[in-house]
Each structure stands twice: as structure tokens, then as C-alpha cells.
Structure 1
Amino acid sequence: MPSSQQNATFLAPAHVLCVQVATGRVSRQDRRRQARELRAALRETPAYQGARGQKAVVDQVGEDGLAVAFFGAAELAVACATEVAGALMRRGETRVSAGVHGGPVRRAAELWNTRGVEGPGAALAHDVMACGDTGHVLVSETTAIRAMDAPEWGDAMSDLGPVEVQPGLPLRLFSLAHGDVGNRSIPTRVKQLSAARAALRPTHNLPPARTRLIGRDADASDIVDRLETSRFVALTGRPGIGKTRLALEVAERLKSRRPGGVWVVDLSAVSVASDVPSTIARTLGLLALDSDPSLDRAELFLRDRDALLVLDGLPDVVASAGESVERMLDACPRLWLLATSAIPVGGRAREAWPVNGLPSLRPAADADPALLRDSAAVELFERRAYEADRGFRLTDEAFRAVADIGVAVGGSPLAIELAAAASAHASVEEVLSGLRESIARGKHAGADTTPAVVAWAVEAAAESDRTILQSLSVFHGEFAMSAAQAVCESGDIDAGQVADGVHSLAQRGLVAERDGPDRYRLLRAISAHARTLAASAGAADLLRRRYAKYLGTCSRELLEAAAGDVERVLEWATEHDRELGFRIATNAAASWHDRGEWARCARWFDILCDRREGVTVDLLAAALTARSRARLELGDPDGALRDADDALAHSSSIDDREGVALARRAKGQALVSTGSVQEGMRHCEEALASLRRLERPEEAAVTAAELAAASMLAGDAAKAMAYAADGLRVDGGEQASSSLLLLRGIGAARSRDYAHAREALAEALVVHRSVGAERHEASNLLWQAELAGREGDHHAAALYHSERLYVVQRVGGRTEIAEALRSAGVSSRRGGRLGDARRFARDEERLRTQLNQPRETTRVRLLLVDIEVAGGDAAVAREALTRALAHDVEDGERVLCLYAFGTVAHLSELYDEAATLFRAAAKWRDEDDLGDGDALERMYADTVTEARVGLRRDMESDAYDRARAAGQAMMPEDAMAYGRARLTV
């Protein structure tokens, strides 16, 4: 509800009520009548009249709604909401919704000179209102927490939880139902926003169960109970016995009990112990960083989470992987582990749970089929056979044969399912006969029969299907149909036949269909048999070569889907076909760049470029260009410039115009990084012009983003915004748009055009999230927090910083996480969220100690002092101050320490001491410069300013002057000693 301000205004805290009446299509005369009724309904309410009597209210009424700012108690805004809604309902108007939020609102020094209700608090109140359906009165946490001190309102509010009323801003909302006013249902929009937020922050990666677990219900219940007391349970048993399926069932049942998340870590493709931590980190969505070991980052992410990890296939790697697991258990006191293992797992904190075969009855000749049906093995066979052939029915005689199958395979679910799938092609009796023969031939009777059953199932398939299965063994994880066709196609088998063969193998249970579209996988026991067949046929290298060619040319989306295999195939290619290695690496470079995996990118190109003999010039130039960007991000601008120059020379030598443009852009980026901004921008502008002529919109958009960033670095926000707008006019893809929208928002913020900055950043955040640009998201949230802080909305700033912390924990190193914790702690303290502030600060203190950063450890302890001062408990604040000063304080932190002494003295009602300490600190730092430092220093400056106002009010002027004079005469070390002595610290 905008209006122009006729007088000088400033932002002040208020509780804003927005009310809207859904009008539909009505005449202008009816709208005017409605506005008069709204104004009358508002001004007749006791709450409004009371606030007006206190000269603490401003209102603005339109044709379809109103906004009222209460510069006083939160209860007045809440009461007014119910009174206005009730008055309108009594007049027959039922299409009313209302929202209340506490935040900064613009006002004039003389309140009656204020025109309209404007400011970030008013905008958010409107957004809160918009989250409700007709009849809802929604109240945000900033107002509700204060209003709920009164029993009348506390009992009337229902917590709806955090709701993203704006992108990146999850406000906790309450639904107010008081008397006849309010709607007790959960608003439709709240449901939609909550579902969208849950999708952004998944708390599990469990696949949906395709079928009901058979014969294991009691085991699953017992293991769930065991995981309430034992933090590490290992399910052991032979391959195919159903360990993974049982573990998934247990995890599903524990999902609601582990709010920190339930994650299945697939270790089936891991061959060395050192890859276990990185696989865990990748499953948790943590970015790979060479600066911080994966295990450290996983521990940091999980430390305070009540979470369950399912380590599927843990001992199939090496026994030393257990060291990583043990360390995680020690570092994460609320972490629970469930492992699956083909062999017993020993060690501390582990409890083995043997998984046996499904119960199988050996039928007598006159056995009752009804009794056999109750057997878990028979039930599983019958269900899977019916899924393969909807016309399948068991005769009485067939029931006995199925029971014999269960006994023959030792109750192995995999073997039973393979046998059931085969029943679509042969009678049950023929399946039983074939199984017995295969088991006898393999001499597996009484032992592990799974390999023999797998071999029998493969032999029963058509020859072309067996050939396809053999080729599929090259995949270590999930694969797409296009990948299968790439490795299986030959002179004898075309793409259509491959697709038919994969589907045929899936029907036989030899290929597992995954949850995503067109996604498949081989189970471990089947994959092992297929690899044996490929090795026996001498086809292993041929299959790797085909797969390498595919990875060198496939789309980014398909490459991402095969991410688990890329490095394994790269290892083979560097030894057997360097050109293929270059093609795979250059194809993967874009994905590595998008994910910020610069170290991985540089490492592979280092390996490949050291073996460049015989590689074509265009491939070498592309590799050098990709490595240039990686080196730049890793802090080696000189190396990046050398690579860019080499790439430029190589591309020029073969007149590769696109290669020249990309190398020139890389050179421009390196020059900007070394401080030669104008020269670097000139190279990027030339690259941009070339890419436009070549009609490469995506690369042109990326180059425009680089020019926008360089302009920002040069301090020209207007030029940066122009480049960003220019880049957005090109259809350059979502990744480029993510960067350009972010730069446009930052440019607007630096130009102090806050309204457009908020709008651009909100639009950009949606794109960041849709394309998974988490580094862009972190930067965006930082700027949104900065904007909120500049406008005095410290509560919103705290929420933005908290959201950013979650993202940084996934993509940042430990030092970056520590800085994010500091920002979240300071902003939460300023926003009055003391519980959050205390938690963030303690987490940061622990991390700074681990990183051996004594100066920052002292500073975060001083933050904790201020948090406890704000909490109002002088004894607790003194304890925090004692802890902060437990070690030597560097000279640069003495002023902050003196401020901390002063604030604790003020809280302890030692007014003379507080005034003395504040003046002693100010002597060594010009008072005019207070708050020009980092966020912690600015926060302390505000705390000290407020405390000084209180001292002037509470002390006689002569006493105040004497105390200040005493502080003026003190040297810093004397002031520190004085503070310690007077506060007994």
C-alpha cells in the first residue's frame, strides 16, 4: 500500500495489521462504500481507539483492505485484528483475511505527519496475510511471541511452523482463532509453501517401497527397538539374503523418529577405505573440497543432528573403513548407524544382527497347501510370480514345488524372486528341477546357493540378453537406457534390441528398475556374476572403452546421472586412451565448475596434461581453458593466466574461433583477479563479441556475468547491472541466468536501490534453487540479510543468515562455516533470538577451537558475553566473561574486552565502573568510528550506545563525569586490570 512521504521519515519498530476483503468484480461506487465501512469498522474498535489515545497508531485504508501500524504493545495489533474481522462479519462480510507482523515501519518524528504505512514490516505483514485463506487471521512470530504472554491470546494461537512468506525468509506463523473469528484449518498456501520448503531441504533419501516386506516384520520391529539403545547395528548375512531390503524397512520406520535425517549410503561401488568418507559426504549433499577432508565435513554436518545413516555394503570395502565409522560415532553423539554386511563386523559400539533366510517348510507328500501358503518363502514367490504374470495361479501340487524351492535356496529372497520371475517362462516344477541341477552342479547345497541361482537365472535368459547383461557389468551404480545402449550396441545388437533386452532382464529380476525415469541397476550378486562373464569373454576393456566414449559426449544431465562412475572410467582412460580421458574431463568440467569442485577439476587436468603427447590441439586447448578457471578459483591467478595464454595460442594455431573466445575470456578472468581489471574486461568484451557472432548464447551469457562481476569489483554498480541485464536478454540457460540475476540484485543493493534489490534477489533465489546453484544461493541470502539489517529488520536478517548457514554447511569449508556461524549468531542476537544466537555461538566456538584460531575463539566468546548480557542474568554473563578472558587477549581485542566489561558492569548495576570502562575503551578508539568494523564490533557499538543512554539516566551527572574522567586517564592494560578486579573476573 504505497504512498509518498511528505516529511523526513525513519524506520521504527511496529506491529502491522493488514486486512483484506475479497471483493470480486464490483463497481467503483461499491468499492468506495466498502472503504468507508472498513474505516468505520477499524476506528470503532477498542484496540484502535486505545492506541490512538496513546498517539501510537497510523492507518491506511484502501478500497479492498487496510493497513494499521501500532507503535506499541503487540496485544493491541492482535486484538484489533479480531475486532475488525468480527465487526466486518457482523455486517455480513465473510470474505475477510488478516495478517499481523512486527517489523520496521517508516514514520515521521511527529507521528501525525506520517502518511501511509510503509517499510519492510508492512510488506511482510501483507505477505503473512496472503498466506491465509478466507477467515484466517495469521500472526507472525515477531508479534505472536510478545502477544502470547497474555493468556487470552496464548490459548488462541496454533503454531503452523516456519513458512517461507518470501523466498529465503521462513517466518514462523500462528493461526489465531478467538471466539467466532478465525479459521481453524491449515491454510492452503501454507500447505503449499511447507511442501516446497520440505522439497528444498530433504531429510531422507529413502526410495519408495515398491512392495511390502514379507516375512521380516518381527525382525524389523526388533531392530527398530535395538536402534533406540545401540548406536551401531550391523545386519550380517550372505549376498541375496535381503539385508538391504530389511535395512530400508527399518530406516522407513525410523524416519519420523530421526528429525536430523535418514540417509542411505550406497558403498557397493567403493573399493578402498579412503573413499568411504567422501561417499558419505556426497550422499549428504556436501560439496567435495580439498581444503577440508570429507570426514571432517561430514562430522561437522552431523554433529548436532539426531540422524540415522544406513551404510549399505560397509565391509565389502576394507576393514580399515571402520576407523572412519568409529570416529563419526565419537564426534556425533546423536548419530545412529545401521550397516549391512556380507561378513560379521567387529569392533566397539557395534551389535551384529544375523539375517537368515525366510522361513521355509519342507513339505510332506500330503502337506495341506493352505499351511504352505502361510510360509514367507511361498508368499514371496507367489507375489513376485503374479507381478511377472498377472494370470499366474498356484495349483496344490505347485505349492509343494514352491515350498521345495524355498528350502533348496535356503530362504534367500533374491533366489526366490529370480525363481518366481522364471515361472513366467516355465512351470514351477521345471523351475525347481533347474534350480536343483544348478545347485548340485555348483556344489552349493547346504551353503550359499545364491551364486548358483544367479548363474541358473542368467543361463535361462536368451543369448542376446546374456550378452547385454554382460555389457551392463561395466556400470557400478545406476545407469540410464542411453548409457546401456552406448555400451551394448554392436554389429549384432542395435539400440532397440538393447532396450528390449534390458526390459526382458528386468522382467526376469536380473536388472532392477529404479525410482527415477529410465533408471536401472544391477544388484551386487548379479553384477559380480556379469563381471565374471565379461572377464571370461575378454570384453572388459572393450566395454570400458565404449563407456568412456559415452561419458565423453553425453549431455550434462546424463553425465550427472553417471557421476559415480566418471572418475573410475577416467582412471582407466588415463592409462589406456589419453584422448578419451581428455574428452571425458572436458565434458565433466562444466559439472565440476557448477558444483564448485575446483580441486577435483584441477587434479584431473594436471594428470592429463602431464601426458598430453598425441592429444589433438583442440582438446588440449579446451583442457587448458578449463584448468585455468579451476586454478583461478583455487587462488592461483598466475597459473590460471599461463593456462589461458597457452590455450589461446593453441586455439589460434588451428583457427578455432570458439576456442579463442573461451580462452580469451579465461585470460580476462585471470587478469581481473591479478588486479588488471580494465585489461581483463577488455579481453572479456572481445570474447563476448565473438561468442555472439558465433551464436553461442549460453557462453555469451556466462561472459556477460563475468563482465558484470568485474564491473562490481571496479566499483561500477551501474555498469554491472547493465551487463547483467544484457546477459539476461540472451537465452543463455538457467545456470547463466542464476549468476546474472544474482549480480543484478547485488548491483541494485550497492546502488542503494533497496526495493529493486529485494525484488531481483528474490527472483534470483528461485532460480538458484531450481538449478541447484548453492553457492549463488549462499551469496544471495547473505545480501538479503545485509539489506534487512540495513533497514533495521534484524529479525529478518537473522532468518536469512540461518538459511544461509544451512547452505554453507553443504558447500563451504570449515572456516567459511565458522564465518557463517558468526554472522548467524550476531544477527540472531540483534534480532532478539537469543536461543538461536547462543547455539550458533557455541557451535562456532567449538569449531574455532578445532581450527586453532585463538583470536576468533576469543571474539566468539565475547559474542557469548553480549548474548548473556541481553539475557539479563548478571551471574551467567560474568561466567561468560571469565571464559572469554581465560587466555591471553591480543591487543586488537582489548577494546572489545573493555566494552564487554562495561556491559556486564552495567547489567550488574555497577554504574561507576561501567562508565569508567566505556570511556577507557573510547579513548583508544575514536567514538565517531564506533561500529565501522565487522558485524560483532557494530553490534557491541550499539549495545554500548544503549548502555550509555541508560547510565546518563541512572547516574548523577557529577558522578558520571567523574567516572568518565577516571577512564580517560587509564591505559588499556590498566583498564583491563581494573575491570578484572571490580568484576572479580
Structure 2
Amino acid sequence: MSRKSGVHRPGNLPPDARSFVGRIGELDCLEDELGPGGDGRLLTLLGVGGVGKTRLALRAAERASKGYADGVWLVELSALRTPGQVPLAVMEALRLADQSAGPVTDALCAWAQDKQLLLVLDSCEHLLADCANLVADLLIAAPGLRVLATSRERLGLPGERVLAVDPLPVGDPDGDQQADAETLFTQRAARVDPGFVLDGRNRREVGDICRALDGIPLALELAAARLATHSLGALHELLTDRLRSRFELLETEECDGEGPPRHWTLRTTIGWSHELCAPLERLLWARLSVFAGTFTGGAATWVCGGGPLVADQVRGLLLRLVQQSIVLRDPADPDRFRLLDTIREYGAGWLRELGEEEALRLRHRDHYRRFAREACSDWNTGRQVAWCDRVVAEHANLRAAVDCALAEPDSPVALETAGSVGFLWRNCGMPRDAQLCLDRVLEREHVPGPDLVLALWARGAVAMNQGDLDVMRGWGVRCAEVARELGDPAMITAAAYLTGGYLALVGRLPEAVEALAPNPQLLIGTDWRGAAQVMNSLGVTYSHLYSGDLDKAREAARATRASSEQCGERWSRAFIDAILAQLDVARGDTEAARGNCRDALAGHRSLHNTLGLAFTLDVLAQAEATGGDGRFAARVQGVGERIWELLGRAQMDSPQQIDARRTRERTLRDRLGDEVYERAYEEGTAMSYDEGLDYALTGEACPVVSTDHP
């Protein structure tokens, strides 16, 4: 189904803030291929680095988005460095908070089998085998899925269609018609010098520059940025004379007399830009290549400072590289930066030449190890949401730091890094990443200590969310044993969360209450152990609720909420708000239930807790179904269905919860009639993730659903 203009469709394509030049023929071809009449289901945009494959893919995907009811989804692969992570990256991009325990590819195929969507896999060349394997499985499992890939090499799958992405056309030196390459150069030059225009006086110089750079967009942008320090005439002389000499050298050394390939043009242009940088700018460029994804100015200072590059100089030099288009600034956050793939590759090569690669990787690892340790120590406070936002923003760097640490999986550094990062990923909506890194580190034997308790606790908590009860019980037993060996009362109490949680989930509720009972002698701390203590109290509340003792459940819920408010944490507080809403429904107080549900939704959303959101939407739908707005309840039921799909397990396979959902549907059908219910429910399922949550929080009228889409 489509929705009326102005309403966001599902997907995650970034806003296209930059102008787009040329490519009319390519876009028309892509429109045909990606439209309803297109023959192929895998289309690869093939071209050298810097030629504009990504921008072309994004523009084409946006134009085709109305043809995909389940959205267009971009998966950026350039930051991945370890084989096997492509399925996780796809899951992350799709916002799937999968809570099952099987292979990630199986979960993706199961989710996608009835979807109509376009998957854009960007920068496949360094993970070709992984990309090809996943795409092959997805195309078999999901007949409504298409893949648009960008790569420097083919994926090599049967039926793969390839569109070669060439550089932008350059103009005839004796002609007066402006070609696309000249247009792009002029636009970028005007950003550096607002008075710059292309006219009869400079047309030949601009044309010569574009021809010297083979019309490669990234090369043109790097050259235009140099107009901040060079006149057009000086730039023309440098590029047409010096680059021509370099090409001749490459021709002699590397291609035995054949014309230089276009990737040499870009490499040479980047090398020229590198030479024009000051020595400390070049050093910073090389060191910045160690980052995966985006990074902050503070992280750059900590990781890249040292030796001749004093830490106090880093930020100023970073801004100089931004001015030269070497480093790009994140438009949504002025303190976050990134390097384009080709720029990073060049810097990484220089880092190896300098002999600093290993040292910088370790500094990067240690920075993010310290980051994760501080986040765990400060987790059970009013800064929890801010830490969660930072964990999400630093996901690629945390993943790279974990990979580096796990090069020695039996080391204390690996245990500390994987344990603290795994805890954060589990609590910030990334359970699959948490499972992977924790399994890798816990395969080895480690000396008992606080880091081992944290890693065991986090792994057991992941298994709890996955419903893998036997695995959860095993990790819980090991966690409790190590905690008792250490004799730390707070760790023993934290381990009780896994023991009591297991007892509650298998229906041994009185035993669960006894195991989870908080230690009154412990004060709730700020770190993960304090968070576990609050979670124990949450478990007591759930045990009373599921045993049917509503009075004890309300008493325990109020005590837990008081504990959450005392320290300022939101994770347990959001679950408690949802429990209180359930208790409000039981006593017929719809207004109170509505308010508590919306508090819970806001809390879970701020922490990217998809599981909590799904449960709370069910409670809100129940409240409205029994004493509120029936149409609103049916739409929320539809919104909740979409959220449960992201988890991979409807109502977490709970017979009680599944039965409650079916009963709620029957109630609403009786109130509204089948036709009205189904229309409202479809309006809910047609909303995107954020639209649906906005609607549940505000109750504002949802978009009109049309049926004009196939």
C-alpha cells in the first residue's frame, strides 16, 4: 500500500542535501530496471572509487521508492572489517531487533519472505563473498525483494545485471557547451568562492582541469576545494602539468605503455591533495584512517594525538582537512566527522608506510574500551539515555574495537572490552552483536573477576530476551558461581537476575520472587550492578503480575519505580510504567493506563528498546479496546504487529500473550465490525516505525491508506 504524498514510506535513505549533476541516462535505465517491469532482481553499479556509484544508487533508489511497499533500505558496508558481519549490518539497517537465537541469515530470510522492498548494499567490494552468499539466500527466500549493489567488482551471482558507472562527461575544448563535469566543478568551486562563475574567461581552464581529472566526481571535488588556497590559474597549472607527469610515470612503471586506468587518476589526484597538505595535516589524515564510520573531534584528539602531533593541535588541523574536503562533517551533528572510503584507504596506506598502523589500532581499541567502561559505570543514572545515543552513534567503532581486542580472545583486554560493549549492546537494542562478541570471548577460560561476571551476566541476559531458557540458565549458573567465588554482594545480587528470571519464565513464580528479592543492605549503585538490582525488583513485579496477585504487583511496581526515579535510570522504569498500565487496565482506569503507556513508550523509544515498545503497544491496544477508542486500538494493534515483526517472535512466543492478542482482536471486531476493524488495522500496519510510534504517543490522525499501489 502507498500513502498520500508527504508521508514517509518505510526505509532509511538519508536526505539528499547535495545537488545532483547529470546521469540522466543512467537514472532512466535504473528506473526501468527497478520499476515493476524490470527483469533483474540483482543490479550492481560497477565503477572505480570516487566515480559516484553511491550517490547514483541513492538517487535512483529514492526515485523508485514508491514501488516498494516495505521500503528502500540502505546498508553501508564500508566500515565492516571482519568477515561474517554483513548479515548483522543488514539486520541493523532494517531495524530488526531480532530476539531469536538461530543464524542471522535465517532470521533475515524469514522476515523478508513476504516483503516488497529494495535493499541497497553500498561498497561490497571488500566483502564480495559474504555479500554474494547473503544476497543469494535472500533472493531465494523473498520473491518481492530486489537488491541494488555498488561495488568495484561483480558479486558474481547468476542473473546479476551490471550497469557500468562512468565518469562525468567532459566538454569539447573548442566547444562552448557546458558538460556535466564542468557543472559539478563549478558548483563545488562556488561553495569555496561564492563569486565563482563559469564564463568565457575561465571556461578553457575549467575544461582542462576536468579533462585532466577524467571527469571523476571525487577528484573534481578535491580539486575545487583547493580554490580556498590557490587561484584557478595556479590550480590549472598544477593539475595539467604535474598530474600529466605523474600519469606518464605510472604509464611507464605500471601499465607497460597502456593508458592509465581511471582509478590511477583518482589515486594520483588524492596523492596531489595529500602533498598540498601541511606535514601535520598529512599525519592526522593517516591516523584518522583507523576510525570506522563516523567519529567525534574528542575521539580524534585522544586517538590521533602524540609525537609531533600535539593533542591540542588536532581539532584545528581536523577543521583544516574539512575545508579541503579530505574530511566530511556530519550535517546532523557538527562534532561528528567521516572519511570517504577512497580517502580512508589512502590514509591507511600512509599509516602503514609510517609504521604506525598497529599502534593506532591499539589506541583506537583502548579509547573505545575506556568509553564502554565509563558507560557501564555510569549506566544506572540519569545519563543513561545520553549514553545509549552515544553507543548507537559509535556502533561501527565499538565493533572495530571489539574485533581488535578479540585478536587475543583469552586476554584480560578482550574480556573487559567484549563484556562491557556486550552489556551496552544488549541494553541499546543490538542483541545479535552482543551475542556474537560475548560468545567469542567466553569460549576461552578467564580468571574470575568483575569483568568475567559482567560478561556472563550480559550473555545470560541476551539469552533471556531470545527465549533460549536452557542457555540462559547455563550462563546464570556460571555467573552466580563466579560472583560467589568473588564474595561481592552486589555481584551476587546481579547474578540473581538470571536465576530468578529463569524461574519466572518457566512458571516457578514463588521461587522467582524469593530469588529476585533485593538485598535491603545494598544501596543502588550507578554501574551495571545497580542496574541489575533494579531489574531484580522489576522481575519481582512481573512474577506477582503473572501469578495474578495484582495488589502485590502494584506494590512492587511502585517500589521499583521509586528506585528508578532515585537513580534516574529509564530502562527498568519504562517496563514498570507498562506494568502499571496493565494494572490500570485490570481495574478499568483507561485514562491512567493511557498515560502510563505513553510514558513507557517514550522511555523504551529513547533506549531503542524494540521489545519494550512491542509489549507496551499491546498494553495500549488493550486499554483502548476495553475502555477507549476502538479505531485507535485497532490502529495501534497494527502498529504493534509491525514492531513484533522486527523482533522475529510474535509476543515472544508466549501462549498467554498470543491468546490475549486474539481475544483483543475479537473484542474490537465485535465493537467496530469486521470492515472497520480491518481498515483501521491496515492503517496501523501501513505506518513506518517512527510514524507508528508517533501516532501511539500523540493519537493524532494517521495517514489515509490508499489502495492504488500493487
TM-score bracket for the superposition, by shorter chain length = 0.7 to 0.9
Shift of 1:745: 1.5
Q: In the alignment, which residue of structure 2 is the partner of 1:470?
A: 286
CA 1:496 to 1:722, structure 2 compared with 1: closer, same or farther past 3 Å? farther
Counterpart of 2:167 in structure 1 is: 357
Residue 833 (str. 1) matches residue 648 (str. 2):
no
1:501-541 residue CA offsets vs partner (Å, 9 max, x unmatched) = 22222222222223430332221211222222222222222
- The CA distance in 1 between the partners of 2:432 and 2:508, in whole Å, is 25
Q: 1:346, 1:644 → 2: CA distance?
A: 46
Equivalent residues of 2:98, 2:648 under 8 A apart: no
Match of 2:592 among 749, 753, 756: 756
Q: CA deviation at 1:286?
A: 0.7
Q: Deviation per CA, 1:446-471, whole angstroms, max 9, x where unpaired? A: 31211222222222212212222212
The 3-state SS of whatever aligns with 2:209 is helix
**CA 1:310–1:377 in 2, change beyond 3 Å: closer, same or farther?**
same
1:352 is paired with a residue whose SS is: strand
- Post-superposition Cα deviations, 1:157-193, rounded to whole Å, max 9, x if no partner, equal xxx989xxxxxxxxxxxxxxxxxxxxxxxxxxxx9xx
Give the Cα separation in 2 of the matches to 1:415 and 1:559: 34
Distance between the aligned counterparts of 2:111 and 2:65, measured in 1? 18
Give, in whole Å, the separation in 2 of the partners of 1:837 and 1:475: 49
CA distance in 2, matches of 1:220, 1:638: 55
Alignment partner of 1:635 is 2:474: no
Residue 273 (structure 2) aligns with: 457
1:414 counterpart residue number: 218
Instruction: Quickly say closer, same or farther: Cα 1:490–1:815, change in 2 above 3 A.
Output: same
Which AA in structure 1 matches 2:23? Answer: R
Deviation at 1:780, TM superposition (A): 1.7
Question: Contact 2:100/2:107 (CA < 8 Å) preserved in 1?
Answer: no
Contact 1:247 1:340 in 2 (8 A): yes
The change in CA–CA distance for 1:713 and 1:818 in structure 2 (over 3 A counts) is closer
Which residue pairs with 2:699 in the alignment?
none
Query: Of 574, 578, 583, which aligns to 1:738?
Result: 574
2:43, 2:149 within 8 Å by CA — same for their partners in 1?
A: yes
3-state SS of 1:340 partner: strand
Secondary structure of 2:469's counterpart equals coil
Q: Which residue of structure 2 aligns with residue 487 of structure 1?
A: 303
Of 572, 579, 583, the match for 1:747: 583
CA distance in 2, matches of 1:385, 1:838: 53
Partner of 2:646: 810
- The number of aligned residues is 637
Q: 1:559 to 1:435 in 2, by over 3 A?
A: farther
Give the one of 494, 506, 513 matched to 2:329. Answer: 513
**Where does residue 407 of structure 2 map in the other structure?**
575
Q: Map residues 298-337 of structure 1 onto 2, 5 A cutoff.
A: 298-319=108-129, 321-337=131-147
CA contact (8 A) 1:470 1:531 kept: yes
Q: 2:368 corresponds to which residue?
A: 551
Deviation at 1:808, TM superposition (A): 0.7
In structure 2, distance between residues paired with 1:224 and 1:787:
46
Match of 2:636 in 1: 800
Describe the superposition over 1:287-329 as per-residue Cα deviations: whole angstroms up to 9, x where unpaired: 2455344334434444444432222123442246334324433
**Secondary structure in structure 2 of the residue aligned to 1:264:** strand
**Deviations 1:255-290, CA, capped at 9 Å, x for gaps:** 344342121111223467743333222211112455
Cα distance in structure 2, aligned partners of 1:650 and 1:675: 29
Asked if the contact 1:442/1:452 (under 8 Å) is kept, the reply is: no
- 2: distance between equivalents of 1:747 and 1:759? 13
1:874-913 alignment, distance < 5 Å: none
Alignment correspondent of 1:216: 23
Q: CA deviation at 1:674?
A: 6.4
Q: Contact (CA 8 Å) 1:220, 1:250: kept in 2 or not?
A: yes
CA distance in 2, matches of 1:354, 1:462: 37
* 1:573-597 deviation per Cα after TM superposition (whole angstroms, max 9, x unaligned): 1234722222322322333322565
Q: Taking structure 1 as reference, are residues 391 and 759 closer, same or farther at Cα in structure 2, changes over 3 Å only?
A: closer
Q: Percentage identity across aligned positions?
A: 26
Whole-angstrom distance in 2 between the partners of 1:294 and 1:780? 26
Pair 1:333–1:835, CA change in 2 (3 A): farther
Structure 2 SS opposite 1:490? coil
Pick from 394, 408, 417 the counterpart of residue 584 of structure 1: 417
Give the Cα separation in 1 of the matches to 2:198 and 2:448: 64
TM superposition shift of 1:243: 0.9
Correspondence for 1:720: 553
Which residue among 624, 635, 654 is the counterpart of 2:456? Answer: 624
SS of equivalent residue, structure 2 residue 74? strand
Q: Which residue of 1 aligns with 2:708?
A: none
- Please, which of 437, 459, 464 is the counterpart of residue 604 of structure 1? 437
Structure 1 residue ranges without an equivalent (≥5): 1-159, 163-190, 842-985
Offset at residue 807 of structure 1 (A): 0.4
Partner Cα separation in structure 2 for residue 456 and residue 814 of structure 1: 56
Q: Distance in 2 between matches of 1:716 and 1:646?
A: 32
Q: TM-score, normalization: structure 2? A: 0.79
Letter in 2 for 1:832: G
Shift of 1:689: 4.7
Greater C-alpha radius of gyration: 1
SS in 2 for 1:423: helix
**Aligned AA (2:358):** D
**Is the 8 Å Cα contact of residues 234 and 353 (structure 1) preserved in structure 2?**
yes
Find the counterpart in structure 2 of residue 903 from structure 1.
none
Find the counterpart in structure 2 of residue 447 from structure 1.
261
Q: Aligned with 1:206: secondary structure?
A: coil
Q: Which amino acid aligns with 2:544?
A: S
Cα distance, 1:672 vs structure 2: 4.7
Using the TM superposition, name which of 597-606 and 548-557 deviates more: 597-606
How far apart in 1 are the matches of 2:454 and 2:131?
38
- Farther-moved stretch of structure 1 (352-361 vs 782-791): 782-791
CA drift of 1:805 comes to 1.0
Equivalent of 1:560 in 358, 367, 392:
392
Deviation per CA, 1:910-948, whole angstroms, max 9, x where unpaired? Answer: xxxxxxxxxxxxxxxxxxxxxxxxxxxxxxxxxxxxxxx
Matched-pair contact (CA < 8 Å) for 2:209–2:236: no
Specify which of 198, 204, 207 is matched with residue 11 of structure 2. 204
Of 521, 528, 533 in structure 1, the residue corresponding to residue 350 of structure 2 is 533
Letter in 2 for 1:207: P
SS at match of 2:571: helix
Select between 778-787 and 464-473 the one with higher mean Cα deviation.
778-787
Look up the match of 2:186.
382
Look up the SS of the partner of 1:690 in the other structure: coil
Query: 2:114 & 2:405 partners in 1: Cα distance?
Result: 42
Q: 1:824 to 1:253 in 2, by over 3 A?
A: farther
CA distance in structure 1 between the partners assigned to 2:525 and 2:85 by the alignment: 45
Distance in 2 (CA, whole Å) between partners of 1:749 and 1:263 is 38
Compared CA separation, residues 431 and 253, structure 1 to 2 (3 A):
farther
Residue equivalent to 1:240: 50
8 Å CA contact retained: 2:631, 2:680 = no
Q: Is the 8 A contact 1:438 1:456 kept in 2?
A: no
- Distance in 1 of aligned mates of 2:272 and 2:546: 67
Residues in 2 aligned to 1:799 and 1:378: alpha-carbon distance in whole angstroms: 52
SS in 2 for 1:778: helix
Asked if the contact 1:235–1:355 (Cα under 8 Å) also holds between the matched residues in 2, the reply is yes
- What are the residue-to-residue correspondences of 1:151-162 with 2, within 5 Å? none
Q: Deviations over 1:689-720 (max 9, x none)?
A: 51347899756644432332233244322222
Whether the 8 Å CA contact 2:449–2:486 is kept in 1: the answer is: yes
Provide closer, same or farther for how the CA distance between residues 616 and 419 of structure 1 changes in structure 2, counting only shifts above 3 A: farther
Shift of 1:777: 1.6
Q: How far apart, CA to CA, are the structure 1 residues paired with 2:426 and 2:42?
A: 37
Question: Could you say what the CA RMSD is over the residues aligned between the two structures, in angstroms?
Answer: 3.7
Structure number with the bigger relative contact order (C-alpha 8 A, sep ≥ 6) is: 2
